[in-house]
Amino acid sequence: MADYNLVLALTDKAALQDWIDLAVRLLPEGGEIHVRGMITVEPERSLSEGALPAREWRDAFAQVALNHPAVHDEVQVFVDYQPFMRVLETVESLQADLLLVQWPAPDALIGGVDAESLFRIVPCDVVLVSGANWQLTGDVLLSLRGGPNISLGVRVAQALANTGSITLFHAADRRRSAPDLELVMRAVPQIGRTVTAVSGIVDGIVREAAGHKAIVMGASFRRPAPDAPSQPSMVEAVYQRAGVPVVLVRGTQQEALEFHLPRPLRQETESLSTRVDRWFAENTFHSSEFSDLCALMALKEKRGVTISVALPALNEQETVGNVIRTLKQALMDEVPLVDEIILIDSRSTDDTVAIAQSCGIPTFIHQDILTDAVGAYPGKGEALWKSLFVTRGDIIAWVDTDITNIHPRFIYGLLGPLLKHPQIQYVKGFYTRPIQVNGKVQAYGGGRVTELVARPLLNLFYPELSGIIQPLSGEYAGRRSALEQVPFFSGYGVETGLLIDLLERYGLEAIAQCDLEVRVHHNQPLVNLSKMSFAILQVFISRIEDRYGVQLLEKANRSMKLVIQEPDRFALEIAEIGDVERPPMATLEAYRAIHGTKT
């Protein structure tokens, strides 16, 4: 952890560069800035409506926030009814030293919380900056009573003034001895003038504010008597009359004041639907956010991780070569973001393996891997499971080899969230899937099993995952440390099983999804989709048994009668369809011997 942590919480992405510059000026050497955006959603609306604004925030942050080395690369956007409470969790988890907050106006809420409540619950120094069009260069009026706000107030005034001068306005209290202003001026040469007032404080501040670019004031906890007439606070009165930005500072140790700092966690009664909506808004990304491969490469080096791409294949000679060449050129030759690309084949009978070898990548037959230890089963899930054994990366991405419009975004869109957000363990891709019907292309016709089987069942039994747009997509990536701890189903049920098991083990916040735009591939005939659905239903039932303690599959029929309608044949054909559940790879001694993993 850095020697000094500054949390910058913003309610508006405008003037972002100015906010970063101010934070940098307030930061001691060796400190780190953690930027957090706050999107407040009205109570009657769904949090999921914050997804697009959150993406706009992340785009703005990517252009500005990460250009300074002191800015931590994990910039987050909180979408909530009271997003400031999420900021407070960040403050506490980082043990932050300073919270710098954009304050719309002295009488406005900050991420759903008023200023007085904010001061009472934040356990560190706080700086609230209100007003629009504030500048980092110009004369600043510093108004303080004294006490522990002096050092923080001076520091903030210096940061705002830059090369300008500071006027110190001392609001004296007859009941206390005044500080030695001459001593303050000698210590801070930037203070060119001092003024002392014992009455008419607001009038004095407003009068002195003329010609100054901002007013810095010390916060007070003094509350009016319950029967006192309602009137604006001193800060509100100054803000309304002075016409310049007002900055409110509060040092951690308030003089002669004791109060309890509760931990304001989100209420346990929050609905699951609200939680999913928030997840959708905050954990749904777009591949364009990660298109700067050099920036991703720098982030990868900073994280100190390696990346593997495994390409499952079965008779994909028409497309596999283009998939490999496209990914290899962009992600290994031009920018070495990916450390290895391998083909994990399932005994193709065409030239798939030969084409992959001609492209210069390692090829493996999944039926030949770990055969002596665990045997072999057919199926894509089996291939993915065994690819954990033959790859070496800390992050593994899988992409199908039947994609006809392959693009590097199918990889960097999956890697971006994992590299930027350490808490994310698994990223699913989603996209528009055109389908050809009667010779015509329908833009949104694909994903039939997804919409008719997978998503309805997730909504029924695993509503935490109801925000996953395409749970069955073939493009996804995860951290080895997570993937090796969960079982894999050998066939069509692998995607469903991974989602449910990773949810159960690591929680919803560990899962993200990324828009990969458009995916074009050869659509499956209906009979194959029927087989897929049959296998996926069995996986769902298996996990429902585990969650709810019921027994269903042992009494279920595992064979499926398929209707065969051909010109010369009309009959029922029986197919045995069912996935084998492979154990977590980390439980295999042969795997641990190579990867050094302990269960």
Give the tens place of pLDDT for each residue, 317-341.
Answer: 999 999 999 999 999 999 999 999 9
313: in domain: yes
- Residue where one domain finishes, among candidates 130, 158, 187: 130
CB 497 within 8 A of CB 380: no
416 and 293 in one domain?
A: yes
Angstrom distances, CA of residue 375 to CA of 348, 493, 580, 582: 19, 19, 12, 11
The gap between the terminal CA atoms of the chain, to the nearest Å, is: 28
43 to each of 80, 260, 532, how far by Cα in Å?
Answer: 9, 28, 41
From 130, 153, 181, the end of a domain falls on: 130
Torsion-angle region of residue 483: left (phi > 0), alpha (psi -120 to 50) or beta? alpha
Task: Tell me: do 140 and 122 sit in the same domain.
Answer: no
Residue range 162-181: mean pLDDT, rounded: 71
Q: Are 584 and 504 in contact (CB under 8 A)?
A: no
Q: Is residue 35 part of a domain?
A: yes
In a shared domain, residues 152 and 113: no
pLDDT recorded at residue 580? 94
DSSP-derived secondary structure for 450-465:
IIIIIHHHHHHH-GGG
Q: Are 114 and 194 in the same domain?
A: no
Domain that holds residue 146: 131-253
Residue 599 lies in a domain: no
* Exposed/middle/buried for residue 596 (C-beta within 10 Å: 0-12, 13-18, 19+): exposed
Do 283 and 234 fall into the same domain?
no
Decide: 510 and 426 in contact? Cβ < 8 Å: yes
Give the pLDDT band of residue 16 (cuts 50, 70, 90).
confident
Note whether residue 259 is domain-resident: no
Residues counted in the chain: 599
pLDDT band with cut points at 50, 70 and 90 for residue 29: confident
Residue 510: partners with Cβ closer than 8 Å, 6 or more residues away? 423, 424, 425, 426, 482, 502
List the CATH number of the domain containing 150.
3.40.50.620
Domain annotation covers residue 267: no
Q: Give the model confidence (pLDDT) of 560-577 as tens digits.
A: 888 888 888 888 888 888
Shared domain for 447 and 431, answered yes or no, is yes
Domain CATH number, residue 313: 3.90.550.10
Only one residue has tokens 């699951």, namely 272
- Please classify residue 526 by burial: count the beta carbons closer than 10 Å to its beta carbon, then call 0-12 exposed, 13-18 middle and 19+ buried: exposed
User: Is there a single domain that holds both residue 416 and residue 477?
Assistant: yes
In a domain, 264, yes or no: no
533 and 392 in a common domain: yes
If one counts the domains in the chain, the total is 3
Based on the domain organization, do 120 and 139 belong to the same domain?
no
In a domain, 220, yes or no: yes
What is the number of alpha carbons within 13 Å of residue 197 lying toward its C-beta?
16
* Average pLDDT of span 127-143: 79
247 and 313 belong to one structural domain? no
Give the single-character DSSP code of 555.
G
**SS3 state of residue 78:** strand
The answer on 161 and 122 residing in a single domain is no
Q: Is residue 498 part of a domain?
A: yes
Instruction: Give tens-digit pLDDT for 463-482.
Output: 999 999 999 999 999 999 99
207 and 332, same structural domain? no
What is the Cα–Cα distance from 197 to 143, expressed in whole angstroms? 10
- Beta strands at 559-566 and 569-576: parallel, antiparallel or unpaired: antiparallel
Q: Which domain-ending residue is among 130, 165, 184? A: 130
